[in-house]
Structure 1
């Protein structure tokens, strides 16, 4: 069951529980307190979910930063990557796999032919710097819908080509962020093909979260039921090693 379904089920279940008990407890002082608490919980739960679905602020081209620095991995240190970079990534593929009805293998041309979203947003790094850039690419939801994410999937894991300390980079999000309209697979920055230092040819943009949640050099998108078998089980490269929070909302 997906996170969204679980939340809706929980909300509906709590509402039904208190609705059925109203006739027995509404007239008592304790009952009134319980009902007030339930209403407050219900309101806060919906507000929290709505906050996560709200759009990140978008800017204009006049706001673009003069440069958009690279951070973390600045390249993929392999001969195969250098050759792909020099030739414009004609053979780069992005897999969509895991708990899906129809696994996909998409070329860069496939990705460029999909409906595109362009958004100008601010990138906030956990190290304290920010930059504003214009990103273009298909929404992640478009690929997930095409692949047919199965009901048992609760998280989306991103697999990457860059290797840090002997481990390929990885990250993950839940279904709320996976289907957020500003979650895109970017292949362009400021109207040009994505630069090497910024994750060419593909990187994620998870606009409601800090920069380490935006993996670069993307090779695969994997739908999973649990994060237990992803790295050390905390859902991301830095979360497993440095104590970073899995949900890094901004």
Structure 2
């Protein structure tokens, strides 16, 4: 068996197993903070071990266009349910702006047209969902690292948080809105891109139009769709459940590396 595939399957299996343990233990978390602490420590160990084995800049496998899946299922939100998004969609995202702020020297707002003028990267990669399915797609977008270098990071910057247009749960405090985060190691990884095309065409609504994150060494729920804002932070303390993501606030692992 291909050595790369063997290791990748092992890493996927170990990550899925840890996620299941975390989810099955949600009630236990409420009863015993020590158990939660142990699982968080195990997650940190997993991250360090994977980066040691793979290397910080090791690339996820890339495929040929002949390997592209004939269908790529839409998962999570199929269309954000908000007037703001509906207006942007109706105008073909001409008024959409990506905001980058937080712990940066030069906050930025940039249009989709201007993003498309920047140097782009195209990659054919496999999307692995925590539910157990996979699909191969061709993605084109701007390397996230390019934009972060443009805005300039402050010395205490540690994480990039992706605020999205879709709201999976209706809540008064905004905690039901989708968001995700990655650390700066993954943010500057060459395959971490803000994709605006899939398989040579602009993203469909179901696949995250106008912009989605592709962080190819992570499970699918880390690949945030409908990205509206990137906030650079030093911790997750001010973010709803404080765990760095919509699903993480509900028991999933924050580091979903594969």
**What TM-score range do you get, normalising by the shorter chain?**
0.7 to 0.9
How many Å apart are 1:83 and its aligned residue? 3.0
Structure 2 partner of 1:234: 243
**SS of match in other structure, 1:101:** coil
Match of 1:182 among 172, 175, 191: 191
How many Å apart are 1:210 and its aligned residue? 0.3
**SS of match in other structure, 2:206:** helix
Distance 1:126-1:46 versus aligned 2 partners, 3 A rule: closer
TM-score for both structures, normalised by structure 1: 0.79
Match of 1:124 among 122, 128, 131: 128
Unaligned runs of at least 5 residues, structure 2: 1-47, 171-175
Larger radius of gyration: 1
- 1:108-119 alignment to 2 at 5 Å? 108-119=112-123
The 1-side partners of 2:137 and 2:246 are apart by 24
How many Å apart are 1:74 and its aligned residue? 0.7
If asked which structure has higher relative contact order (CA below 8 Å, sep 6+), I would say 2
The 2-side partners of 1:79 and 1:146 are apart by 31
Distance 1:233-1:192 versus aligned 2 partners, 3 A rule: same
Give yes or no for the alignment of 1:247 onto 2:255. Answer: yes
- 1:1-250 alignment to 2 at 5 Å? 48=52, 51-166=55-170, 167-241=176-250, 243-250=251-258
How many Å apart are 1:186 and its aligned residue? 0.3
How many Å apart are 1:49 and its aligned residue? 7.4
